Amino acid sequence: DAGVTQSPTHLIKTRGQQVTLRCSPKSGHDTVSWYQQALGQGPQFIFQYYEEEERQRGNFPDRFSGHQFPNYSSELNVNALLLGDSALYLCASSLATSGDTQYFGPGTRLTVL
């Protein structure tokens, strides 16, 4: 049973650049959520996608955008990178009709220099 996968594992960018992170949900799941986790803190909710639409959004600027594809995979895009965007970016998948328990991927470590 394939779990949630994310790519790439690590990424180094410079300020002002743009980045795209990718996520494939657990088999059978239709909902994808993205989180940002700074060192020593809990994950912060960025947004959630269901049926290719953004269903809910946390307190993140418009520089953070996303997309969900017909196969339920998802991308997170961050424009005009800031030093403060350095973090572990986590993707979680769930099944909308099954209690909303979210299963997380291994994350992408983004470093902005």
Partner 1 sequence: EDQVTQSPEALRLQEGESSSLNCSYTVSGLRGLFWYRQDPGKGPEFLFTLYSAGEEKEKERLKATLTKKESFLHITAPKPEDSATYLCAVQAADYKLSFGAGTTVTVRA
Nearer to partner 1, 71 or 101 (CB): 101
> Smallest gap, in angstroms, from Cβ of residue 77 to partner 1?
20
The enclosing H or E element of 76 equals strand 74-78
Q: DSSP characters for 19-52?
A: EEEEEEPPTT--EEEEEEE-TTS--EEEEEEETT
Of 94, 81, 80, which Cα lies nearest the Cα of 34?
94
For residues 1-19, one letter each, b for 16 or more C-beta atoms within 10 angstroms of the residue's C-beta and e for the rest, the string is: eeebebeeeeeebeeeeeb
Q: Which of 13, 22, 67, 109 binds partner 1 (CB under 8 A)?
A: 109
| Smallest separation (angstroms) from partner 1 to the CB of 106 | 5
Q: Does 25 bind partner 1 (CB under 8 A)?
A: no
The answer to the question of residue 67 lying near partner 1 (CB under 8 A) is no
Work out which of 60, 67, 88, 95 binds partner 1, going by CB under 8 A. 88
> Which residue ranges make up the site for partner 1 (CB under 8 A)?
4, 33, 35, 40-45, 48, 55-56, 58, 88, 90, 92, 99-107, 109
